[in-house]
A and B are shown apart, each in its own frame.
Chain A
């Protein structure tokens, strides 16, 4: 089923035309990787999917983005509700300077949930889903910042999962992590796609090849090629894609 659908999306930062006529459909329970050189527009496009770009004064968008069939830029859409449904994990782990428990419970509280039992259950479930529970169950009251970088990133994933999203956007979630932590995040992404639709921006081409079902290659604001990952990395149909994935770009 179509989960995300972009139709003729154009994005401008002031005079700068950063995304050009993007048409793209993402099915539910899949992992989609966005690749491309710095400044190609992949992160901008990712951020349009939960309206993170709204904070930028010069941001303008044309075209439509539908999530579960609804236009997310419609005036009736509540942005907080959209961001609950479309969670985001950033490049650098960014836990709050609070306890491990509070980090995961925070989203629930701001969404008006006060039942302690429900909060406890959700925190445990989210930490288990993020494959972190066994490592932190005995120190939930310890500061989140005392965890390792990899653990902090999984905590941020747990924090995202706690508010029950259906889509998780990840902007280079493993680029600041060591290989073991990266492998754990990649394994986690594979498990999470059973229940969530995942869109990941990555500069690590092997990572895109390993974990995604489909890959989109962006260049200079255009979606150059979008195909099954197994096809794009073995027999890309566009020469620019081939030059990029084989490191012959420029």
Chain B
């Protein structure tokens, strides 16, 4: 077994751990909304620190592998893809944290029906599912699954479009709560962004496994 093999395996394991941490943040956000439980939202905020630590550790491992093992071909692509995926995951984690912060700080002022109107739980379900598929795709090197998952991003785009209309209608109805209603619109947009970032992860997986660059495909045509 080449010396780089255990290093790459450890890198992949750490990346899967980070993915699972971020996914759990999103699951907790969903449960915090569903059960009106701010303690879960507080956990999401606390978890952000762990996500950041994991990101730094993976970055350091990538640097070491590049410097000490000079990887090529599929090994090099794994390291390069990992560097980008950790960046995407950290940003998805940030999105979870800002949603959690909003829930903690404004819990008493938020009407449950608003959260429903913005379809936040539905959006969180999709993000969680996409992240789950991405973990499976990375673990089993299944690019078909990664590609299939990116299609779910379209549902998030739709919810985001609806959120704009919802914000306009609710602000008319509750002008005194416009700040919170606008923030909820931004939360929906952040979840749509989380979908985009998960899509980026799928593209990096395709690059790692198939050596194909699929990002910005439309721009290249």
Contacts and interface: CB of A to CB of B under 8 A. Distances in A.
Contacts of B71: 246
B68 interface: no
Contacts of B57: none
A205 B72 contact: yes
Specify the main secondary structure of chain A where it touches its partner. Answer: loop
A122 to B, nearest CB: 40
Interface string B1-35: 01111000000000000000000000000000000
Given A234-B211, A235-B211, A209 B2 contact: no
A246 B74 contact: yes
Contacts of B75: 246
Interface string B68-90: 00111111110000000000000
A207 B105 CA distance: 58
A66 interface: no
Contacts of B2: 246-248
Contacts of B73: 233-236, 242, 245-246
A134 interface: no
Contacts of A209: 72
A206 interface: yes
Contacts of A247: 2-4
Contacts of A235: 73, 211
A23 B67 CA distance: 36
Interface in A204-250: 205-206, 209, 233-236, 242, 245-248
B181 to A, nearest CB: 50
Contact of A233 (B3, B4, B5, B72): B72
Contacts of B4: 246-247
- Most chain A CB within a 10 A radius of its CB, from B72, B74, B76, B211: B72
B70 A234 contact: no
A245 to B, nearest CB: 5
Contacts of A245: 72-73
Contacts of B5: 248
A249 to B, nearest CB: 9
A235 B208 CA distance: 10
Nearest to B80: A234
Contact of B76 (A205, A234, A248): A234
Interface in A87-146: none
Contacts of A234: 72-73, 76-77, 211
Contacts of B77: 234
Contacts of A206: 70
B70 A242 contact: no
A246 B71 CA distance: 7
Contacts of A248: 2, 5
Nearest to A237: B211
A241 B2 CA distance: 15
Interface of B: 2-5, 70-77, 211
17 contacts: A205-B72, A209-B72, A233-B72, A233-B73, A234-B72, A234-B76, A234-B77, A234-B211, A235-B73, A235-B211, A245-B72, A245-B73, A246-B72, A246-B73, A246-B75, A247-B2, A248-B5
The 6 closest A-B pairs by CB, nearest first: A247-B2, A235-B211, A233-B72, A245-B72, A242-B73, A246-B75
Given A246-B4, A248-B2, 13 more contacts: A205-B72, A206-B70, A233-B73, A234-B72, A234-B73, A234-B77, A242-B74, A245-B73, A246-B71, A247-B2, A247-B3, A247-B4, A248-B5
